[in-house]
Chains A and B, each alone.
Chain A
Amino acid sequence: MEHSSNHLLSVILFTPLVGALLLLFIPRESQNLHRLVGNLFGVLGFIASLSLLIHFPAGSAGYEFKEAADWIPSIGARYSLGADGISVLLVMLTTLLGMLAIASSWSAIQQRTKEYYILLLLLQTGMLGVFLSLDFFLFYVFWEVMLVPMYFLIGVWGSERRLYAAIKLFLYTLAGSVIMLLAILALYFNYAKTLPQGAMGTFDIPTLLAAAQQFPDSLKTWLFWGLFFAFAVKVPMFPFHTWLPDAHTEAPTAGSVILAGIVLKMGTYGFLRFSLPLLPTDAALRAKIIHMVIALSLISIIYGAVVCLRQKDTKRLLAYSSVSHLGFCTLGIFALTPQGLAGSVLQQINHGISTGALFLLFGVLYERRNTSLICEFGGLATPMPNFAAIYLIISLSSLGMPLLNGFIGEFTILQGVFSVSKTWAAWASVGIVLGAAYLLWLYQRTMLGPITHEANKSLPDLNPREYAVLLPLVALAFWIGIYPRPFFAYLEKPVQRIVQQVNPAFYQLTTSPSRTSSISFSSPTSNPVSPN
């Protein structure tokens, strides 16, 4: 593409890092300056990524804005970036939430602001790198880079049990990613084996994944599970999720927002990008794997939702709700249908928006009351009507109210899953019902009824900065709910490409031109979905 000469992705990737470096030169005492610079670079990053959205060629299936440079030539690792529709949306989510998370910390963080903003910005670069890397080595580096700031954010600015949570997060994730590193190395060496003597191996993701198609099934299975653990911990899926509630509970608001909004998406992104192509070709084996993953997803959905009902801490509750919601995402991914995948990505965005906003909202409360226990609240709608209104909207978005974003994602996932198995869809819909139950119950216990605590009587309503942080998310929730077409447009082709790669059988289905379809297909083999 003609964009190859453009360094847009590098600019996006390193804008936060530049901010972090700049912050290094600001004296420790000028806290407002730290805040200002942090916010400035948050906004700059967002603006830079907007141009990604604008310049992204419509209907492109592959990676755009590619950049590459030699990095460690001795092992073939390259600095190579690229973005397809999926990455673009996730990058946008990252920069947006990153910006808002930074903005939300203005008054919440009073200690060590310099380090705080440096870490936040560094974290953002790490996350962006994960979504933009086209090189496994680079991917792994960013994957780990992101972990360190998160560790410190929780460990330094968290609440009482922060060290426990931080170490738990770190060890959990590290255990997963070490296995992933092994899998990456296995991929690398097995690919290198296929090359002629003396040729240099590569970490290039498209190359490796394309080559992996030719690997024997046993190897592919091993690779799949190797990557699976890292991603499953990040997502987190059912047996690997216990770090999340602790991390969420102890993290500062911005940390929670980023954790829920973006970090979890790295796991699903990994599934989407790396795990799917490594599914074995043998139908029985593949079905077995898929069934296991789907089973875990369904367990996550219901388990998360059910456990939510018993939580005493808002942030913990939201953490478990994330487990439930992310279960939907993995469910959609492993349905291996275009709708499931598109819905999954959209649902990731939605989850970022709504859960991010929920954490921001509870961050507002935390700032006012310094607690996140449910029993400390109650009847807050009286002193904080606008807060209650926004909270209600976001709750509804999270529980899948039509006209808000959550519904579109859940519906699309369900549709994709439904065409594969009706049972899965039925189980998943239990999660929707339970979602309404715990979210509304939480809303009732915190917002409605008479005021139960004296301290809550005079809580101030939202201030302009908090509005500025929350309203974009509300607007986005409505946008996706009412007019999701632009988002689907970004996803259509990349998703189609993935499905063609990993589930070619899907497009071999009968395609008799029928009057019943509003848009029918002409030629299934070359271009399965005609651009109509």
Chain B
Amino acid sequence: MMPIGHYLFLSLALFLIGVIGVITRRNVIIVLMSIELILNAVNINLVAFSRYFGDVAGQVFALFIIADAAAEAAVGLGIIIAFFHNRETVLADEMDLLKW
């Protein structure tokens, strides 16, 4: 078996890439996708630990995270479409008011 550190580093790498995406990209959709990537990195950690501890709970939580991701994507994209209809833009730094 591989040492678990491999998985952790992989996960760390994906996480960092995701974080960088979130911070540096202006396009909200790509930001959202980066967030999905971050969630995915977490999933890898969970599944890896689940495998190594022999406890299926990690996979359960990964499953919940996937469900959450789906919900998040649905709502997020809904917001984006609504926003786009109103503002004709999807750039993150043009969204700086809570209400308009």
Question: Is A–B contact present in the complex under a CB 8 A cutoff?
Answer: no
Interface residues of A (CB under 8 A from B): none
Which B residues are closer than 8 A to A by beta carbons? none
